[in-house]
Amino acid sequence: MNDFVNQFWNWYVILLVLVSIIACGVLLWTQSSPPAGSKVDTTGHVWDETLEEYNNPLPKWWMWLFYITVIFSLVYAVLYPTLGSFPGLLGWSSSGQWAKEMARFEEQTRPLYANYMKTDVKALAADKEANETGKRLYLTYCMQCHGADARGSKGFPNLADNDWQWGGEPAQIVETISAGRMGVMPPHAQLGAETIKDLAAYVRSLSGLPADSVRVAKGQEAFNSAGCSGCHGPDGKGMHALGAPNLTDKVWLYGSSEATIIETITKGRNNQMPAWKEFQQARLA
């Protein structure tokens, strides 16, 4: 890569640009008029026996338009970064332009976000303008995981239902977005295939899904003895403080089939919601 940043390539680009522009002007000049006293020949194209195409010079108006583009190109190359590493007399750069636009945008939006920070979340939820702002932010930063309609997908929570893994109070949601969440379901392969199948049957029964009654009874015993109730609660209703899902509703993050539940118990699950606190602070700085 060092070969592409030395002065040879800098001068190579400068010469290539200048020669290309000047060559266009020279080509135009050589084609602008026939030699003095010379006869204009035809191009050899003939239609309807006597209709011939002559090789006349370009029209003057077209020629001067072309000259103007050549002059414009030379002026542009002097004012803007065109000639190798030369930054141009105006000192313009795409990164500098982007920084100015972002600074202007931040200047306009900072007071708005600062005002939102002072307002209660429930009040913001009733504010149409705040909702539109939140929607645009969601579609920019959140829809990649939770979907454009916020209904999620396999492994990504549905935000449009009434099921909350970490709690649905405003403070809990703010905490989730700001600090992120790390949801961990530890693997339990050590319990053995039969016990895990019993547990899967019991978990399915908690939400009213069909399951073998014998396995359900064994699974209920294993649910308490294997420590599952420590996170999901003795009744299987989960625990917001740990992010342990409610197993008694009909909401499934990975699916409700027996095979999927067995896979979850055997291999465990790891889910991470990234933290956006630094992003928020950057917007208000």
Instruction: Reply yes or no on whether the pLDDT at 256 is more than 50.
Output: yes
* Torsion on CA atoms 225, 230, 235, 238, rounded to nearest 10: -140
Domain spans in the chain, listed from the N-terminal domain onward: 2-92, 181-274
CATH 1.10.760.10 for domain 181-274, yes or no, is yes
pLDDT in tens, 179-216: 999 999 999 999 999 999 999 999 999 999 999 999 99
Report the alpha-carbon distance of residue 98 to residue 96 in Å, rounded.
5
pLDDT in tens, 123-135: 888 899 899 989 9
pLDDT reported for residue 38: 62
Q: Residues annotated as binding site for heme c?
A: 142, 145-146, 185, 228, 231-232, 273
pTM of this structure: 0.64
What average pLDDT does the segment 150-154 reach?
93
- Residues whose CB is less than 8 angstroms from the CB of residue 244 and which lie 6 or more positions away in sequence, other chains included: 165, 231, 232, 233, 238
- Residues whose CB is less than 8 angstroms from the CB of residue 194 and which lie 6 or more positions away in sequence, other chains included: none
pLDDT in tens, 29-50: 887 766 555 676 777 788 877 7
* Torsion on CA atoms 104, 108, 110, 112, rounded to nearest 10: -160
pLDDT in tens, 266-277: 999 999 999 998
- Residues whose CB is less than 8 angstroms from the CB of residue 262 and which lie 6 or more positions away in sequence, other chains included: 196, 197, 200
pLDDT reported for residue 281: 61
pLDDT reported for residue 45: 80
Average pLDDT, the chain: 89
Q: Residues annotated as binding site?
A: 142, 145-146, 185, 228, 231-232, 273
C-alpha of 92 from chain center: 28
Strands (E), the chain: 42-47, 51-54, 181-185, 269-273
pLDDT reported for residue 1: 44
Phi and psi, residue 53, nearest 5°: -100, 120
